[in-house]
Amino acid sequence: MMASVADHLKTAPQLSLRFIAVWLRNLRVWRKLMLPSLLGNFGEPVLYLLALGYGLGQFVGEVESMPYMVFLASGIVCSAAMTGATFEALYSAYTRLTQQQTWAAMLAAPMNVDDVVLGEIAWAATKALINASAIVLVASVLGLVAGPEALLVLPVILLAGFSFAGIAMIVTAISPSYDFFLYYFTLVMTPMLLLSGVFFPLSGLPDAVGIGAQFLPLAHVVMLVRPLMTGTAVDAPVLHLAVILGYAVGSYWISAALARRRLIR
């Protein structure tokens, strides 16, 4: 008799280093398409940064005692990480799961579902780091980064990538088709992008909305990344890291359980 989702959720994922083989496999494939992939994932956030930063920035002026362009740059870094991890864990992972049957081939090797899911999430987090690093580099060239402490953004982004990828992997594990992803974009990703302080400070939101935004992982990523990039003090860094880590661990646990329920008959 097939185990229920609740049964799988009660079982902790079996962690092993076998997930690295999945990560390496995806890296080798990506290297063949590296240039168009970088252009696609790198071009849009840079366009947002330049268009909104220079265009809207002239009307907005300063936000939180800094030029709007500086304020926006750190938000775009975070949104690029979320977008990169999400698209990889949704479309690319789902294609490997259903269309190409790559997951089935991997499971024929001495590897379990938990290894495959963690490998996919780790690779999606790597894509988030690649995308965000490119934006940090552009921001540095434009003089929008305060100092070398901005390098601390990179490990934060990698951890955040695990969170965003894990959440997206939950959707992949239950999705019957590509069209199902639209629910996630409309109901989760777009509200999170607009209500996490990427484009404007949370202090400008109504109190109830601002409190709700504190439960969004992207908001905590922004609260860590923005001070690191602008050279200001980070408020409650342990809390922000704990929330991001909690989302990363929890989403992996749930996505692994759902994937086991889908693949193990």
SS3 66: strand
* CA–CA separation, 86 and 124 (whole Å): 7
82 pLDDT above the threshold of 50: yes
- Report which secondary-structure segment, H or E, holds 64: none
Q: Rounded mean pLDDT of the chain?
A: 90
User: In degrees to the nearest 10, what's the CA dihedral of 38, 44, 49, 53?
Assistant: 160
Rounded to 5 degrees, what are φ and ψ at 102?
-65, -40
Q: What is the pLDDT of residue 129?
A: 95
pLDDT of the residue at 265: 60
3-state secondary structure of 67: strand
Residue 2 has pLDDT above 70, yes or no: no
Residues of the chain above pLDDT 90, percent: 61
Give the pLDDT confidence score for residue 3 in this predicted structure.
64
**Contacts (Cβ under 8 Å, ≥6 apart) of 235:** 223, 227
Q: Quick one: pLDDT at residue 1?
A: 42
In the predicted structure, residue 38 carries a pLDDT above the cut 70? yes
Q: How many CA atoms lie within 13 A of 78 on its CB side?
A: 32
Q: How far apart are CA 140 and CA 121, in angstroms?
A: 28
pTM of the model: 0.92
Instruction: Determine which of 4-18, 108-122, 174-188 has the lowest per-residue pLDDT on average.
Output: 4-18
Mean pLDDT is lowest, of 54-68, 182-196, 235-249, for 54-68
pLDDT of amino acid 173: 96
Give the model's confidence band at 206: pLDDT under 50 very low, under 70 low, under 90 confident, else very high.
confident
